[in-house]
Amino acid sequence: KRGAKGAGGVPSKAAGEHPEYGACARFDELPLSNKTKDGLRKAGYTEMSEIQRAALPHALCGRDVLGAAKTGSGKTLAFVIPALEKLYRERWGPEDGVGCIVLSPNKDLAGQIFNVFQKVGKLHGFSAACIVGNRKGLDEEKAVINNMNILVCTPGRLLQHMGETTNFDCSQIQILVIDEADQVLDKNFQEQVDNVVSQLPKVRQTLLFSATQTKSVKDLARVSLKDPEYISVHEEA
Ligand code: ADP
Ligand code: MG
């Protein structure tokens, strides 16, 4: 049932510039599900930040995005919202397994991302887990990981599950997010990240965010970004 979606998430650029959404200033002007809109409102988010205004119209129509904006500029919502909307539009359900993976360089940042999914995604029925190798033991993670729709992970811990966890299935991933991409694509994580990405389906949306816009073509090829939108904003403090 999940095999039939094809490469439908890659609209042509000429046809999809959506100037009307590019001019949006508020979340409720975007074409979002009511669940996401209500989640945002209840969490107190109304006006978009610059990176959100720049990235969301592209990410929401399925494009790959490479976004750069300094720390504190609101990059998390720039990928949490498209991830929720992607699964929502695919009518993702409890039985569909893992549909979104977010890679984060460390436990703390992964925990923060997880909290934003919980808060903004509250009205969606998706299950989510933070897979970082703390608190919950490995066995506990193994027991639940296949029932999760959204995984926020550190690369090493995800790779461990790919290797050890019986029937762990990432073959239906719709969207891969790499946060702090400059760190996650760095030498320290290279082997783990390449190994992880090699086990993910090629047809998917990929969003990369970091504080600096420096990614080499080689790094982008490693995560097979397809004709990405390059977005870089420099907001005043
Ligand atoms: P980054 O990942 O770019 O460092 P975060 O996504 O962690 O930034 O966001 C930084 C802070 O800004 C968080 O406290 C977050 O709740 C807040 N924030 C993000 N977007 C908005 C927004 N549109 N309106 C108000 N606050 C926001
Ligand atoms: Mg961040």
Cα(130) to ligand 1 centroid in Å equals 19
CATH number belonging to domain 16-232:
3.40.50.300
Instruction: State pTM to two decimals.
Output: 0.91
Half-sphere exposure (Cβ direction) of 53: Cα atoms closer than 13 Å: 16
Ligand 1 mutation target, pool 40, 53, 76, most atoms within 8 A of CB: 76
Mean pLDDT on 99-119: 98
pLDDT > 70? residue 142: yes
Q: What is the pLDDT of residues 150-179, one digit of tens each?
A: 999 999 999 999 999 988 999 999 999 999
CA–CA gap between residue 228 and residue 180 (Å, rounded): 17
Alpha helices (runs of H) in 61-215, residue ranges in sequence order: 75-89, 107-120, 138-145, 155-164, 181-184, 187-198
Ligand 1 mutation target, pool 71, 77, 102, most atoms within 8 A of CB: 77
Max alpha carbon distance in the chain (Å)? Answer: 48
Which residues, judged by CB distance below 6 Å to any ligand atom, belong to the binding site of ligand 1?
A: 45, 47-49, 52, 69, 71-77
Alpha helices (runs of H) in 90-186, residue ranges in sequence order: 107-120, 138-145, 155-164, 181-184
Sorted by where each begins, the domain ranges of the chain are 16-232
Report CA Rg, the chain.
Answer: 17
